[in-house]
Amino acid sequence: MSPSITCPHCGQQHPVGARFCPITGKTLPAAVRRGGRPILPFALAGILGLFLLSAGLWLVLVGQLPVGRLQPEPATPVPVAAVSTRSPAPQATDTARPQATLTSRPSEPPFLSATPFPSQTSLPTATEADRLVCPDAPLTRLRVGDRAYVSLEPPDPNRVRDQPSTSARVLGQIVPGEEVMILDGPACANSWVWWQVRSESQTTLIGWTAEGDRQNYWLVPLTSGSTPVIAALPRVYDFFICQQLCLENGSNATGSVPGGTTILHAHWNYENMPIGSHYVRAWTMDGQEWVRYDCTWPGPTTGADDITLREPGGLRSGIWEVTISVDGVVLLRDGVVVEGSWSYWSPAGVFNTCYDES
């Protein structure tokens, strides 16, 4: 049997070398006329092989595949950003800030290494002793809510007033070692820092008192280990000056009287006054002593005093102040302003008794 070829047009067998299909009349491809297979699939396979070979060579050149291995490696894990845990570098320097770097080794997955910025911290807060709240006053060591006590050095009491001012009405006194609670403040007056306090022993005594001057702190913060040893200390409180007899609640008390006033009334309460102690009560005008009572205290230990201050020629204009001390400890220092320009002055002198006409 003579060789034949399969016609791509009609599917019938035709003699090798035929140029046309006798059934359809269409031209036969040259490869079919020669009895071979179509070359297109082989050509495409060759082109694809060359492409894959070139790609493999390129990967070898860039270092992604080991030399001599044309097959692809297992898939590399997706890079994950990892933040360095090293201690932050100090801030505010002139050196360049570290940049993120890309590490890509064949033996480990690539990762991002970034140095974090140091976290911002607040500036150190001032200590209680460093706070300046009043421009012309000493630094304060107290805050609202603190507990404090009246300083033992100097051993003087603090006046408690109804307003933060030396001209405000005196409500009472807190004595050295007496504890107080800081309720309100600070307020600035008379070049002092003022706090509203409540006495821990005189629970009804609430008012304003000064923390101290530029020489001494009169209120001391009460911290652990600083609680003073407090005995039943003598004290004088509820001091009032009035132009008539002082009412028990001090509602008619005054802080100033006209110049030439001939009679003043003073009232105060006292307690824990040791019998046999050295008692001194003195009145001064602008620092000049007018009368002084210097005696041994006869008792009682607790009570109230109502004193009448008389000057027939009229009290001289100025600041009149009374000071009461027991065994050298000042328990009261308070006074009244005599207004005007009255100039009469006749000191009464010193009395070695605790009470007399004064």
- Whether 234-358 and 145-232 are alike in CATH topology: the answer is no
- Give residue-wise pLDDT tens across range 189-205: 999 999 999 998 887 88
Cis bond before residue 154 (omega within 30° of 0): yes
| Element at 42 (helix H, strand E) | helix 40-62
Burial (CB count within 10 angstroms: exposed 0-12, middle 13-18, buried 19+), residue 277:
middle
Complete DSSP assignment for 111-133: EEEEPPPPPP-PPPPPPGGGB--
**What is d(CA 159, CA 222) in angstroms, rounded to the nearest whole number?**
19
Domain ranges of the chain: 4-36, 145-232, 234-358
Complete DSSP assignment for 290-303: EEEEEEE--S-SSE
User: What per-residue confidence (pLDDT) applies to 108?
Assistant: 34
Q: What confidence category does residue 316 fall into, taking pLDDT thresholds of 50, 70 and 90?
A: very high
322, 332 Cβ separation under 8 angstroms: yes
The closest alpha carbon to 3, from 18, 24, 25, belongs to: 18
**SS3 (DSSP) at 266:** strand
- Give residue-wise pLDDT tens across range 99-109: 333 333 333 33
pTM: 0.44
| Element at 225 (helix H, strand E) | none
* CATH ID of 234-358, from 2.60.40.1930, 3.30.43.10, 3.40.50.300, 2.40.110.10: 2.60.40.1930
Over range 6-23, report the average pLDDT.
77
User: Taking the alpha carbons of 66, 72, 74, 80 in that order, is the dihedral positive or negative?
Assistant: positive
User: Taking the alpha carbons of 228, 232, 236, 238 in that order, is the dihedral positive or negative?
Assistant: positive
* CATH ID of 145-232, from 2.30.30.40, 3.30.565.10, 1.10.3720.10, 1.10.1760.20: 2.30.30.40
Q: Which of 48-62, 147-161, 162-176, 314-328 has the lowest mean pLDDT?
A: 48-62
The Cβ of residue 59 has, within 10 Å, a number of other Cβ atoms equal to: 16
Question: Encoding tokens for residue 158?
Answer: 């603090």
